[in-house]
Amino acid sequence: MLNKLHTKYFKLSRPLLILFLLWYSGSLFAQADRKFIRQGNREYEKEKYSESEISYRRAIDKNKSSGDAVFNSGDALYRQKKFEDAGKQFIESHRMNEDEDKKSASMYNLGNSLLMADKLKESIEAYKNSLKLNPGNMEAKYNLAYAQDMLKKQEQQQQQQQQQNKDNQDQKKDQDKQEDKNKDQDQQDQQKQDENKQQQQQQEMSKEDAERLLNAIANDEKNVQEKVKLAKAAKARVKTLKNW
């Protein structure tokens, strides 16, 4: 779409060159740069854009005030996909020319360059400036609408991405909270297990102590009974001796 519009638009630059030659046909500058402009046009039509750029720049070297040669060099750069450099030439062409149609044409092609460089907001402004100077430029109207639609979609995508990032962050926070909760629960479970184990150990120790105590008591009773028996036996022996 853009290439088609740009190719169609480039036809506007050719009459500008013809007018340029007519206006300055008596000028030494025009005589000096005319062959390079014509050479550049021939090379451009043969799609030799790099060579045409060189020819247009030679024309500019011969005549620094040639806004049309600057404009055409921008077209050659655009065809080489050097959109940033092309935009600079169209800005310069807009500055150099006084004619509103030429200034509008420069803004239109600047809009194309910015659009191809994915600078949508800047391209929209360029198309608007072009239409202020030439409201009847249908290509500028079409590309303006296209750029505005692209910007709207881009902003929607950015909003969706931001929302997705926010959702991901919220999900991450929820996961972190759940992990912290699980960690706390694990710690509580472990603490409970430790307490239960300690209680069990205490119970086992108490049971062992009780058994030892019972055994000790049983031994003491046995010893006491033995002592009582021994005492009774000794007493019986004493009594027997006395009777004799």
> Given this model, what pLDDT does residue 239 score?
54
Q: Is 81 left (phi over 0), alpha (psi -120 to 50) or beta?
A: left
Q: What pTM does this model have?
A: 0.61
Q: Is the separation of the CB atoms in 81 and 89 below 8 Å? A: no
Question: Could you give the C-alpha distances from 104 to 91, 123, 128, 136, in angstroms and in order?
Answer: 11, 13, 10, 11
In terms of C-beta distances under 8 Å and separation of at least 24 residues, what long-range contacts does 198-206 make, across chains too? none
Return the structure tokens found at 27: 């000028």
Least confident stretch, 89-98, 117-126, 164-173: 164-173
Question: Could you give the C-alpha distances from 195 to 153, 160, 198, 199, in angstroms and in order?
Answer: 62, 51, 5, 6
Question: What does the pLDDT average to over 110-138?
Answer: 95
> Given this model, what pLDDT does residue 180 score?
83
Helix (H, G, I), strand (E, B) or coil at 41: helix
Least confident stretch, 56-70, 112-126, 152-166, 201-215: 201-215
> Given this model, what pLDDT does residue 231 score?
65
Residue 155 clears pLDDT 60, i.e. is over it: yes
- In the block, tokens 């033995």 appear at 226
Alpha helices in the chain (DSSP H): 2-23, 28-45, 49-62, 67-79, 83-96, 100-116, 120-133, 138-243
Other C-beta atoms closer than 10 Å to the C-beta of 19 total 13
Residue 60 clears pLDDT 70, i.e. is over it: yes
> Given this model, what pLDDT does residue 181 score?
83
d(CA 27, CA 23): 9
Chain centroid offset of residue 93 CA: 36
Indicate the DSSP class of residue 6.
Answer: H
